[in-house]
Amino acid sequence: MSAPRTAYVGARLLDPASGLDAEGVLLTDGAAIADLGPDLFRDGVPAGIEIVDCRGLALAPGLIDMHASLREPGFEHQETIATGARAAAAGGITTLCATPNTSPVIDRVALVEFVARRALETASARVLPMAAVTRHLGGSELVDMGLLAEAGAVAFTEGEHAVASALVMRRALAYASAFGLLIVQHVEEPTLAGDAVMNEGEVAMRLGLAGIPGAAETILVERDIRLVEMTGGRWHAAHVSVGASIAAIAAAKAKGTPVSCGAAPANFALDETAVGEYRTFAKIKPPLRAAADREAVIAGLADGTIDVISSRHAPQDVESKRLPFAQAAFGIIGLETMLPLALELWHQGKVPLLRLLGAMTVRPAEILGLPCGRLQAGAPADLVLIDLERPWTIDETAFLSKSKNSPFDGRPVKGRVVRTIVGGKTVFRHDDA
């Protein structure tokens, strides 16, 4: 059943792609945006069109999450495509890219097609599969990127692991460049990181925990930038967390090197002190860094060096986290908290609103080559209605995700998703909206 023609009236239209920030009306016709603007339907909405009164709330393109682990197939006790998409819709995310670190690994055409099919059958948001760079995430034998892209893979990544070999990465970038494909790297040099479990520094020393040096990230960033220069391949650092890494990417961009990068909310909302007394819910990769690195991430978002905010959603079951810190699994969930944590930076006056929203809409769309992420006629009617000023408290018991491993439980935030629309259809509506 197709979506009805709907007029969203009395909205604050926010479109980072065009710089639009104005009161107006947006009309959807089926699955696409038909028209929008401050003068639309000034004399009233014609009969036969459904009306949604936005009451002055912000209407923006639906958010795009470039990096979420949905765990299906193989780890459905932690998350599924259906539950992850439902949580995404509650967080205003209309498109999310699923990482390939599943069981079996998404490294064959049949598995890319499986994720796409399951998404069509069960997901309330758009779920786009990413495929592995190497077979079985083994780090040596490249997958057939051309065939996998043809089957629907939107990017290639080893998920929570780095492509450690410089030779393999060089070959991957060269192969990808022939097809215009994107390599997404987890920037952590594994021999330097070793079995360490949090950021290297005073906190790790006090707790007696092995630390991951910031150089483990920066060295891999700098290495891969050189390989991009050699091959011309497109490369994206999934999540940066260190000031020196951000500076290296800024320098590469200034030279015209085709690189981009993202940041996870945890790395601008928390620092290493959140580990507290061995709090496993604060165990994440990249690790929570020192306060100066956290500020560098915020500055990188403000000046545009960091292109994208993505959730780094990594659900873990209770048993995986209820262990001594060194043995506990890495990862936190983030689909339902990405937007309010990002909006903190705007409320604090650190990042302009349109730039912040652009990092979750038009920039990931541009990097991935997607038609969404903007308010314009003909674009998909993927939208989010946000009460930018509504205060609320994050409550893990209310999460729609299967897993609850969040360090933000009990954190007061401001800015709440009121309604999420995918293809012209409302897929989430807040209870009191």
Residue 109 has pLDDT above 70, yes or no: yes
Q: Whats the size of the chain, residue-wise?
A: 433
Question: What phi and psi values does residue 8 have, to the nearest 5 degrees?
Answer: -95, 105
> Smallest Cα–Cα separation from 104: which of 129, 71, 79?
71
CATH of the domain at 38: 2.30.40.10
Residue 330 has pLDDT above 80, yes or no: yes
Based on the fold, state whether residues 203 and 247 are members of the same structural domain. yes
Based on the fold, state whether residues 31 and 161 are members of the same structural domain. no
**Residues forming beta bridges with residue 237, ordered by sequence position:** 185, 261
Contacts of 399 (CB under 8 A, 6+ apart): 87, 333, 336, 406
Can you give the pLDDT at residue 433? 55
Based on the fold, state whether residues 47 and 67 are members of the same structural domain. no
Overall average pLDDT of the 37-44 stretch: 91
In a domain, 1, yes or no: no
Distance, CA of 32 to CA of 216 (rounded, Å):
44
Based on the fold, state whether residues 55 and 76 are members of the same structural domain. no
Based on the fold, state whether residues 52 and 70 are members of the same structural domain. no
Cβ atoms 399, 372 nearer than 8 A:
no
Residue 1 has pLDDT above 90, yes or no: no
Mean pLDDT computed over every residue of the chain: 97
Distance, CA of 391 to CA of 395 (rounded, Å):
13
Overall average pLDDT of the 12-33 stretch: 98
Q: Is 341 helix (H, G, I), strand (E, B) or coil?
A: helix
Based on the fold, state whether residues 30 and 143 are members of the same structural domain. no
Based on the fold, state whether residues 297 and 217 are members of the same structural domain. yes
> Smallest Cα–Cα separation from 395: which of 384, 387, 406?
406
In a domain, 129, yes or no: yes
Based on the fold, state whether residues 181 and 253 are members of the same structural domain. yes
Distance, CA of 40 to CA of 26 (rounded, Å):
8
Can you give the pLDDT at residue 214? 98
Overall average pLDDT of the 86-94 stretch: 98
Neighbouring CB atoms inside 10 A of 5's CB total 16
Count: domains in the chain: 2
Can you give the pLDDT at residue 417? 98
Model confidence at 431, pLDDT cuts 50, 70, 90, reads confident
Based on the fold, state whether residues 114 and 23 are members of the same structural domain. no
By CB atoms closer than 10 A (0-12, 13-18, 19+), residue 19 is: exposed
Contacts of 212 (CB under 8 A, 6+ apart): 188, 192, 193, 194, 196, 197, 198, 199, 200, 286, 287
Instruction: State CA 48 to chain mean position distance.
Output: 37
| pTM assigned to the model | 0.97
Instruction: State CA 321 to chain mean position distance.
Output: 22
Residue 432 has pLDDT above 70, yes or no: no
Distance, CA of 289 to CA of 291 (rounded, Å):
7
CATH of the domain at 168: 3.20.20.140
Based on the fold, state whether residues 330 and 267 are members of the same structural domain. yes
Q: DSSP character for 71?
A: -
Based on the fold, state whether residues 188 and 313 are members of the same structural domain. yes
Distance, CA of 407 to CA of 339 (rounded, Å):
15
β pairing state of 93-98 and 6-15: unpaired
Can you give the pLDDT at residue 51? 96
Distance, CA of 91 to CA of 93 (rounded, Å):
6
Distance, CA of 395 to CA of 310 (rounded, Å):
20
Residue 220 has pLDDT above 80, yes or no: yes
b/e code 299-323 from CB counts within 10 Å (16+ = b): bbbeeebbbbbbbbbbbbbeebbee
Helix residue ranges per DSSP H, 186-333: 190-193, 202-207, 214-231, 243-254, 265-269, 291-303, 318-321
Based on the fold, state whether residues 54 and 97 are members of the same structural domain. no
Tens digit of each residue's pLDDT (9 = 90 or more) over 415-424? 999 999 999 9
In a domain, 316, yes or no: yes
Tens digit of each residue's pLDDT (9 = 90 or more) over 275-295? 999 999 999 999 999 999 999
Can you give the pLDDT at residue 43? 87
In a domain, 398, yes or no: no
Share of the chain above pLDDT 70, in %: 99
Tens digit of each residue's pLDDT (9 = 90 or more) over 222-251? 999 999 999 999 999 999 999 999 999 999
Task: Tell me which residue range forms the domain holding 77.
Answer: 62-368
Query: Residue 391 corresponds to which amino acid?
Result: P
> Smallest Cα–Cα separation from 122: which of 169, 70, 161?
70
Tens digit of each residue's pLDDT (9 = 90 or more) over 168-193? 999 999 999 999 999 999 999 999 99
Q: DSSP character for 135?
A: G
Overall average pLDDT of the 17-41 stretch: 96
In a domain, 98, yes or no: yes
